[in-house]
Amino acid sequence: RIEWHDRRQGVAAGDHGLALLVGAARIVTAHLHGVADRVPDREQIYDLMVRYGRCVDTGDREELIRTCYTDDVVVQYDSWGSEGRPLVGTDEFSRFWGDGPLSWDSTHQFTNFTFEIGENEGAYTCLGLATHWPRDVDNSSGVVPVYTVGLRYDNHVRRTGAGWRIARQHNV
């Protein structure tokens, strides 16, 4: 059954199992074997990763820890920084980031998300492309050291009272 709402004409209904979005004025709802129930969680988890990238790119460690991680988070960078040693908890993570990575400017972009979402826990994988350069470099010569990293994030998330948070972050 399709239901769509048109701001000008009210509600119309059909007999098909798929929902179609027709024009900006119509809002469509669908119930496809529980998929609709998970769309909001999926979007929240996607937004979590976008928020992570924004916090890293702006150097906002407090916002990163407060809005992206559980208190008992385990973060593991296989290819950079901690040489594959897990950082356990937000205190250890904060010390690690305070010693260097946030002294670089960066832009993070994420793509190719896959999700497995349960009631209160889930996992997602995505690919990332991050470009980094020193924050306080004298670029008057036009030469700025830049490095770009391609990586995969294999993350586990947990629903908290404040929303979805990363409980385990593994960068490969």
The rounded distance, in Å, linking the Cα atoms of 143 and 45 is 38
Per-residue pLDDT, 80: 60
- For residue 41, give both structure tokens: 């969680």
Mean pLDDT, residues 47-61 taken together: 92
Per-residue pLDDT, 46: 96
- The β-bridge relationship of strands 69-77 and 163-171 is parallel
Per-residue pLDDT, 7: 42
58-109 pLDDT tens trace: 888 899 999 999 999 999 987 665 566 888 999 988 888 776 555 678 999 9
**pTM of structure:** 0.72
Per-residue pLDDT, 31: 38
109-120 pLDDT tens trace: 999 999 999 999
Q: Does residue 135 have a pLDDT over 90? A: no
- For residue 47, give both structure tokens: 């937004």
Percent of the chain whose predicted confidence (pLDDT) is above 90:
47
* Amino acid code (one letter) for 93: F
For 14-80, give the DSSP string. -S-SS----STTEEEE--STTHHHHHHHHHHHHHHHHHHHHHHHHT-HHHHHHHHEEEEEEEEESSS
Q: Does residue 41 have a pLDDT over 80? A: yes
The rounded distance, in Å, linking the Cα atoms of 130 and 147 is 8
Choice between 18 and 150, residue whose per-residue pLDDT is larger:
150
- The β-bridge relationship of strands 69-77 and 121-134 is unpaired
